Amino acid sequence: MASTNYATAPDPNAIDAEATSEALEPLSAEERVTWAVDRFPERIALTSSFGAQAAVMLHMVSRQKPDIPVILIDTGYLFSETYAFAEELRERLQLDLRVFRPRFTTDWQESHFGRLWEQNLEGIEVYNRINKVEPLNRAFRLLQVRAWFSGIRRQQSSVRARMGVLMRRNRRLRIHPIIDWTDRDIHKYLKAHSLPYHPLWHRGYVSIGDTHTTRPLTDQLSEEETRFFGLKRECGIHEQI
């Protein structure tokens, strides 16, 4: 696919997302990143939860666009290992890390709503809107994001299994360069570039979010059930934004 100068780059809504996604499908992950960076050299971002295998996307994208804003949503309930991992990768990869937080502190939320994550699926949905969806929407508005990279993969859940390389959500394009990668592909990339897994990966955590709704993988749990007590897999970001 030929490069497009930013001055003539199409509006995200002018792109046929479905057809473009099909055209990107046979390309490599790196080529998909190149396609997006060529078309959106500005107003493009990378979101990362600094989860188990986050170093892959952070490395792959920042190699092609070192100044890309990397958005981390800090709910206030992340593992201490996640904060340390984020700082390690920020320094090592020289990331332009932008941290966004909920409008209300954890103490304020608990005093007004109680522990939302203990209030069944409805409470979890409210929690996610307050602590994840709203801060990310705010980040996108402030950074004027028109397109963004996400490291989700089809292997991770039944919801993600149906996703393409490219999607449009709320007038923005979302690019999934490693959507078709397996755990083996992830391991090979990390090893080839001497990149680390999240520290909790070695303690059985395959999907890492907030402390209160993340569990290590066991023989009794599927990967999807290690988040949100098995009530749901997605935090809302990939469903709504």
Active site residue 235: yes
Q: Pick left, alpha or beta for residue 236 (phi over 0 → left; psi -120 to 50 → alpha; otherwise beta).
A: left
Where b means 16+ CB within 10 Å and e means fewer, 117-145 reads beeeeebbbebbbbbbbbbbbebbeebeb
Collapse the DSSP code of 192 into the 3-class scheme (helix H, G, I; strand E, B; otherwise coil) and give the result: helix
- Closest to 47 (Cα-Cα) out of 17, 25, 21, 68: 68
Q: 13-33 burial by CB neighbour count: b if 16+ within 10 A, else e?
A: eebebeebbeebeeeebeebb
Q: Which of 60, 70, 206, 235 is catalytic?
A: 235
Q: Rounded distance, CA 216 to CA 225, Å?
A: 10
Q: Would you please indicate which residues are annotated as catalytic (active-site) residues? A: 235
